[in-house]
Structure 1
Amino acid sequence: MALPAGSRFGWLRLDPFVRATVVRTQLLGPAQSLCWNHCMNSKSVVWILAFSCASLSRAAVVPPSECKLADAPNQSHLHAFAPLAIDPQLIQLGHANEVVADEFIIQFAPHVIASLELFNLGGDGRTGLEDIDALCATHGVSKFRSLFSATTPKALAGVPLPDLSGFTVITIDLNQTSLDAAMRAFSNDASVIHVEPIGMHPIYATSNDTNFAMQWHLNQTSDKDIDAPEAWDIQNGDPSKIVAVLDTGVRYYHRDLGGADASSTNPTATAGNIWINTAEKNGTAGVDDDSNGFVDDWVGYDFVSAAIATCYTGEDCTTADNDPRDFNGHGTHCAGIVGALNNNGYAVASPAGGYGNGTLVATGDGCGVMCLRVGHSALSGASEVGYVRMDYCASALQYAANNGARIATCSWGSSNSGGIAAACDYFIAAGGLIFKAAGNSNNSTADYMCARTDVYSVAATDSSDVRASFSSYGTWVDIAAPGVSINSTYHNHAVPASDYVASMSGTSMATPLVAGIAANLWSQFPTWTRAQVWDRLRTTAESIDALNPSFAGQLGSGRVNLHRALTNTTGGGGGGGTFTGKVLVSVLGTPTLGAAGAVADEDIALYDGGTSTWSIYFDGSDVGLTSFAIDALAVLPSGELLISVDIDGTLAGITGGPSGTSIDDSDILKFTPTTLGADTAGTWSFYFDGSDVGLTTSNEDVDALSILPSGAIGISTLGAATVTGLLGIEDEDIFGFTPTTLGAVTAGAWSYYFDGSDVGLSTNANEDIDAFYSPTTGAMSFSTLGAFSVTGLSGLDEDAFKFTATTTGTATAGTFSSYFTGTTLSIPTTANINALHVLQ
C-alpha cells in the first residue's frame, strides 16, 4: 500500500508531485564545475545548469559564475526517491512490522552478569545459566550479542556513567516461537530486569527543486540565516570538537569532507574534516590497537549487522565492520551540513568546517565529523527506502561518547526501544549534546527522543523564517533552523565514483546545522559544559514567532544564529528584564493566567516567554488530584513527571506503593503521561517513600524537588528536618538523596546540597524554599513561600530568582540574580508559586 501523496515521515519531505523528483550536482574533478540535474517530469526531460565554485569569502558568499553545459549522468535510479510504497502501519510503533521480528533486547540483572562472562556469552545461544538456557531452548535462541561495548575510555574515568553491561540482543527462531511470547517469557525470569523490542524507523530520500543555487541558510540578503560569514571572522571550528553523525553512513572520501587526496579509489587517503582514529589507522591490521573494543575502526564504525526489513541491491546489510561508507546518500548530506571543508574552492561550506586557503587541500582545520552507520537502504515494493534500527543507534551513541564525540546529530524517527534510552543517558552523562530531528509529519506529536527534555529537538524553517510546511511543531520543540532547499555533499550510488552535491529539505537538514553551530560555539569556548553551550544557543536564537503566529511557542526558542551565539547577542532576560524561556509552575490561589484560564492548585501551567503566553500543561483534576495541591514537581528526561502533594490521602489507580493507593506528603509520585494539556491522561506509580528514609513528621513534607546534576533527588522540606547523617536542616536548605532502591521500599543516602542560611536566607517562614530547579551543579532557580530579601535583591512569592554558586554543600557561597518577576508574566500578587521546573 502506498503512502498518500504529500505524506511525510522521518528525515526528509516527500514531495507530493512525483514529477519534480530530483536535484543532484556532480562535482567534475579538477575543473570544479557543479552540474545541476533537474528531472522536470515523468518523461525525464533534463535541464543542465553549471557553474564554478569560487573560493568563499569570509565577508560574503559570492554568486557562482556561469560555465558551459555538461552531460548529465544516467540517473534512472533516482526514481527511488519519489514517494515510496510502504505499509502505513509502519508509522506507529507497536505494530509488529515496525519492530525487528526475530530479535529483542534483554537487560540481565547485575548479579548474573559475572556468571555470563564465565560462560563466554555469545554465538551459540547458551549462557550456562539453567533457567535462561531452558528459555533459550524453548524459543530457539540462536545467538546473543552485547549491545554495548564493555570498555570505558580513560577520558571518562571517574565520570558517573550509567551501567550498560547487562544489555543484550537476543535472536530467536520464529519457527519455534513468536516475538511476543519470547519477550514475555524472558521478562518473567528473575535473571532479567528489563525487556524491550527493537524499533525500525523508515527514512525517505527525495530532493527538492533547485530554487536556491547557493547556501542561503549560511548567508542571504534578507539576513534570515545563521550569519556564517560574520561568525567565521570569530571562529571556524576546532578538530578537537567532534560531531557524531549517526545515519546511513558517510561518503567519508568525498573531497569536501575527506580532503583533496581522498577518492572512491583511494578511500584510505581520507583526512580533511573526517574524524580519524589514528591509533587504528597507524596500527596493526586485525588488532584493537587503542583497546576501545573495536578492531581497525580507523574512520568510525558500521553497526549494521543484519538487514533491516530488506536489503536494497548493492547495499551492505550483513556484518558490522569498520567501513561506515554511505550508499543511501542521506548520511553524507547530513555530514556535509555539519563540517564540509570551507574555503577550498570545492562544493559547499558549513558552520564548523574550518577555513582553508582557497584551494583543495588534504587536511582540514574544522570540527571533526565522526562517521557512524546505523541504517541502510531497503527495498519496499519497487522503491528504495531507508531504515535505522534503535539498537544500532544505541550502540553508536555509546561508541561516540567513548571515542571523544560530545555532539550527536540524529536525523531519524525514534521509539523507546532497542536500548536507546540507556544510550541517551550514557551520552549525556559523558557531557554530550544530542540534537534530534523534530520530524516531517506536519503535526505536534513528539517521538520518544524528542519528548525527552535532555535531547534537543529541531524544527525546520524556510528562507523567510517561516515554519517549513512539513516540519513537526509543538511546545516540546527546542529550537528551529533552516531546513528547506539545503545544499550539501551527497553520495549517488548510481555513479559511485563521483562526488555529488544535492539540495534537500527536511528537519534532517536543520538538525545537523544546529549540531555544526554547537560545535563551532564549543570550539570558541572549549571549557564550557553541555548546559552552557545549549543555554547560549537557546538564548541567542532569533525569535520567529511573529512570522509564525499559528505556531507561536511551538518552534522552540527561535531560529538558531551562529554569530549571535558567538557574540552573546540576546533579546533580554535576567535581572528583571524580558523573560524569554519556558517554565512550568504550580500555583496557589487559583489565579487566572492568560489563555490558560483559572489554574487550580492541582494543575501545572506552562509559560512561554517567546510568545508571552500561558497554557495548561497538566490538568490534575483529570487524573485524580482534585483533593490535593501540588507541592513539588520535576520532569524526567523521559517526559514523566515527579510530583509531591500537600496532604495525606488516597490516589485511585496508583501502583507500586507500600499501602495500596494511600499516599502522604513526604512521598514522591511518578506520572507517566499518554496525553498532556487540557485533556491529561496517563498512569500513576509510586516513586519515593519518604517515611522509609526519615521523613516522618509534618515538618518533613516534601515542599520542593528537582533532579540534581548528579542524578540525586534534591529536596527542600516544609520545615526543619532530621534524616540519617544530616543535622540542622531548615526549610531554606536543599539536601540530596542518592537512591539505592526506589518505590515501595526506598533506601539510599542523604547529603547536603545548599545551605540557605549561608547566603542570607533566614529561617523565618517567608524564606522557605517552596520551589526550585537545578540543571547544573551550582546553578539554581528558586521561589520562596513569601517575600525574600538577600544582598542586592528582593522579591515576592510570585517571583523567581537565580543563585549561581561558587561552592555548594555545608559551606554554600555564590551570587543571586532575578530570574523573573511574576507580575511581568501576569501572575497576580495574590498567587504563590508552589513548584517550578524550567524547560528552557
Structure 2
Amino acid sequence: MRRFGLYPTAAVATALATTAAFATATPGGVAALRRAVDDGLRPYIVTTRDVRDAWELGARLRVTRYYAAVLPGFVAWLSPDQVVQLSASRRVTGIEPDRLVEAQDVSWGLDRLNQRELPLDGRFGAHGSGRGVTVYVIDTGIDATHREFGGRAAAAFDATGGDGYDCSGHGTHVAGIVGGARVGVAPAARIQAVRVLGCDGTGTVSDVIAGLDWVRTNAEGPSIANLSLGSPRSRALDTATTALVKSGVLVVAAAGNAGADACGSSPASAYGVFGVAASDESDQRAPFSNYGRCVDLYAPGVDIVSTWPDNTLRRLSGTSVASPYVAGVAALKLGANQSETPTSLFTWLKSTATGGVIVKNQGRTPNRLLNTASL
C-alpha cells in the first residue's frame, strides 16, 4: 500500500491513506487502517450519483465518513464481495481503495521571486500584502502561536480527530512560506490550517477529501488552498479538488518529489489545479522534482528557510515548499483585486512568470519560473 503525505527534502513524499468518519476521523488513524486490513476488510472511497444514493447504499455498510460538498459518496470498510456488489450498482459512479499519503519537505526563495535574472541581490519587495485573503493550508496542521503569524493563523479543521496542532512541522513550514511576517510572501494574509495528515506526515486520501469538503463548505471571501501533498493518481481526489476550484477557490498543489511525470500524482493531476515544480538557487530543476504537462511553472524549492513549531525556523527542500510560494504570490494578486477568479489568477501567474531560465528542464514541462515583478 502506497503512502500519501508531504513532499520531502529532495523528497518528504506525501501519501494518502485510507479511513474516515462523518465529521470525525476513524479512531486509531493509520494504525487502525492496518489492523482492519489484517482482518480482511479494506477501506474504499465510493462515489455515487447523488447524496441520497450515498446515504441509502451506506446504511448497511461500515461507513466511516460521508461526503456531500465536493463529491457525493462515502468511505467504508468493505469485503471483496461488497466491492463487487457496489461496482455493479448503477447508483455507484466510482469505487477505489483508499491509500496512504505522505508529506514533501520543504531564504533565498523570496529573493528570487522579484528578479528576472540572476544573481540575487539579497532583497525582496512586492506590492501588496495579501490582506483580505484567506489561504487554507491543507497539511499537517499548524503551530498558530508562532510569532511569524502575528495572530493571523488558526487551526480551522482537523480530519484526523485532533485539535489541529502541528506535531510534524511540515504544515507550519508551508504556512510560513505563504504568510510569515519575515519569511513569507503575503505577510498580511489570513492562514487557516486544515489538518489531514498525522505527526509522521502521512494520512489518507479520504481525510484529504474531508479537508477539501470542509473548505468547500466553509470558505468565505477571497480564498486560496494549498496542498503540499500527493498520492498515486486518485479519481476521487482529483474530482474533489476540481470541485473546490469550480466553487471559486484557487487550488495550488505540489507536483511531487519522485522525479517522475506529475500527471501520475494527485491532486497535481486534477483539472484546474495549479501544479508547481521545484527549482534551486542556480535556476536548475531540482533533481527530485516531478515534471511534465501537469506542471504549470517552477518556484524555489531547495534549502528554503521557514517557520517551525515552538517559534523556531528550519530549512527544507521539496515541491512542498515550492507550492506555497505560488499560493503566497496569488494571495498578493487576489488581495489587490478581490474580483479575481481561479481562472484569471491561473492565467496571470503563468503569463507573468519568467520564461526560459530553468536549466535541465525535462519532458513537456513549461519553462516558467514564478515572478512578482508585475505586481
Give the TM-score range, shorter chain.
0.7 to 0.9
Aligned residue for 2:156?
Answer: 300
* Secondary structure at the counterpart of residue 467 of structure 1: coil
* Number of the residue aligned with 2:153: 274
Query: 1:529 deviation in Å?
Result: 1.6
Name the TM-score, length of structure 1 as normaliser.
Answer: 0.38
C-alpha distance in 2, partners of 1:145/1:403? Answer: 18
Corresponding letter in the other structure for 2:128: Q
Q: Helix, strand or coil for the counterpart of 2:173?
A: helix
Please tell me whether residue 324 in structure 1 is matched to residue 164 in structure 2: yes
Match of 1:420 among 233, 237, 240: 237
In the alignment, which residue of structure 1 is the partner of 2:206?
Answer: 391
Report the equivalent of 1:350.
184
C-alpha contact (below 8 Å) 1:227/1:563 kept by paired residues: no
**Partner in structure 2 of residue 573 of structure 1:** none
2:136 match:
244
Counterpart in 1 of 2:224?
Answer: 407
Which residue does the alignment assign to 2:124?
A: 229
CA offsets 1:618-673 (integer angstroms, 9 cap, x no match): xxxxxxxxxxxxxxxxxxxxxxxxxxxxxxxxxxxxxxxxxxxxxxxxxxxxxxxx
Query: What displacement does 1:204 show?
Result: 5.7
Counterpart pick for 1:194 among 70, 74, 94:
94
Q: What is the letter of the counterpart of residue 332 of structure 2?
A: N
What is residue 108 of structure 2 aligned with on the other side?
A: 216
Q: 2:85 aligns with which of 161, 166, 185?
A: 185
2:372 pairs, out of 554, 562, 577, with 562
Higher relative contact order (CA 8 A, sep 6+): 2
Tell me the equivalent position of 2:286. Answer: 468
Q: Which amino acid aligns with 1:301?
A: F
State yes or no: 1:505 paired with 2:339: no
Superposition CA RMSD, Å: 3.2
Deviation (angstroms), 1:539: 0.7
Whole-Å separation in 2 of the counterparts to 1:526 and 1:198: 37
Q: Give me the whole-angstrom Cα distance separating, in 2, the residues matched to 1:412 and 1:399.
A: 17
1:476–1:556 CA contact under 8 A, matched in 2? no
Change over 3 Å in CA distance of 1:388–1:418 after alignment to 2: farther
Residues 1:338 and 2:178 aligned together: yes
After superposition, the Cα gap between the structure-2 partners of 1:432 and 1:148, relative to the gap in structure 1 and judged at 3 Å, is same
| Residues 466, 544 of structure 1: 8 Å contact kept | no
1:683-694 alignment to 2 at 5 Å? none
Once the two structures are TM-superposed, the CA of residue 147 in structure 1 deviates from its matched residue by: 2.7
Q: CA deviation at 1:526?
A: 1.3
Letter in 2 for 1:389: T
Q: Which residue of 2 aligns with 1:431?
A: 248
Shift of the 190–551 alpha-carbon distance from structure 1 to 2, 3 Å rule, reads: closer
User: Which residue number corresponds to residue 107 of structure 1?
Assistant: 47
User: What is the aligned residue count?
Assistant: 343
Q: Alignment partner for residue 269 of structure 2, among 438, 451, 456?
A: 451
Q: Decide whether aligned partners of structure 1 residues 556 and 225 sit closer, same or farther in structure 2, where only a CA change above 3 A counts.
A: farther
Q: CA deviation at 1:544?
A: 3.5
1:687-706 equivalences in 2 (<5 Å): none
Amino acid at match of 1:335: A
User: 1:338 is paired with a residue of what secondary structure?
Assistant: helix
Label 1:228 to 1:325 Cα distance change in 2 as closer, same or farther (>3 A): farther
Q: Is the 8 A contact 1:480 1:555 kept in 2?
A: no
Match for 1:540 among 327, 348, 352? 352
Structure 2: how far apart are the matches of 1:169 and 1:201? 16
Question: 2:74 — aligned with what?
Answer: 168
Q: CA deviation at 1:413?
A: 1.5
Q: 2:297 aligns with which of 461, 468, 479?
A: 479
Counterparts of 1:551 and 1:302, CA distance in 2:
38
Indicate how the Cα distance of structure 1 residues 225 and 513 shifts in structure 2: closer, same or farther if over 3 A, else same.
Answer: farther
Equivalent position of 1:373 in the other structure? 195
The answer to whether the 8 A contact 1:218-1:226 is kept is no
TM-score (normalised: structure 2): 0.81
Aligned-partner SS, 2:198: strand
Which amino acid in the other structure matches residue 400 of structure 1?
A: V
The one-letter code sitting in structure 2 at the alignment partner of 1:183 is V
Paired amino acid for 1:273: R
Is the 1:224–1:463 contact (alpha carbons within 8 Å) kept by the matching residues of 2? no
Question: Which AA in structure 2 matches 1:504?
Answer: L
2:255 and 2:262 in contact (8 A); partners too: no
What SS is found at the alignment partner of 1:484? coil
> Post-superposition shift, 1:443?
2.8
Separation of aligned partners in 1, 2:153 and 2:121: 23
Q: 1:503 and 1:481, CA in 2 relative to 1: closer, same or farther beyond 3 A?
A: same
> Which amino acid in 2 is paired with 1:218?
L
Q: CA deviation at 1:422?
A: 3.0
User: In the alignment, is the contact (CA less than 8 A) between 1:542 and 1:561 conserved in 2?
Assistant: yes
CA distance in 2, matches of 1:423, 1:455: 11
Change (3 A) 1:473 1:424: same
C-alpha contact 1:458 1:478 (8 A) present in aligned 2? yes
Unaligned runs of 5+ in 1: 1-8, 16-80, 87-95, 128-132, 150-161, 208-214, 260-271, 276-298, 305-319, 342-347, 354-365, 378-384, 492-497, 567-840
CA distance in 1, matches of 2:247, 2:201: 30
Residue 553 (structure 1) shift: 6.8
Stretches of structure 2 that go unaligned for 5 or more consecutive residues are 16-32
3-state SS, counterpart of residue 225 of structure 2:
strand
Instruction: Classify 1:328/1:557 alpha carbon distance in 2 versus 1 (closer, same or farther; 3 Å).
Output: same
Contact map agreement 1:107 1:192 (CA 8 A) in 2 = yes
Cα offset for 1:337? 0.5
| Partner SS state of residue 251, structure 1 | coil
Q: Which amino acid aligns with 2:153?
A: I
- 1:525 CA drift (Å): 1.5
Distance (Å, rounded) in 1 between the aligned partners of 2:366 and 2:122: 19
Higher helix proportion, which one? 2
- 1:516 counterpart (294, 313, 328): 328
Following superposition, the deviation at residue 437 of structure 1 comes to: 0.9
Q: Offset of 1:560 from its aligned partner? A: 0.5
SS of match in other structure, 1:336: helix
8 A Cα contact 2:281 2:302, kept in partner: yes
Which protein is bigger by CA-based radius of gyration?
1
1:12 is the counterpart of 2:13: no
Measured after TM superposition, the shift of residue 190 of structure 1 is: 4.4
Counterpart check, 1:253 vs 2:145: yes
Contact kept, 8 Å, 2:241 with 2:270, in 1: the verdict is no
Letter in 1 for 2:267: M
Amino acid in the other structure paired with 1:403: N
Residues 418 and 189 from structure 1, CA distance in 2 versus in 1: closer, same or farther, beyond 3 angstroms?
same
Aligned partner of 1:650 in structure 2 is none
Letter in structure 1 aligned against 2:180: A
Question: Counterpart of 1:503 in 2: which secondary structure?
Answer: strand
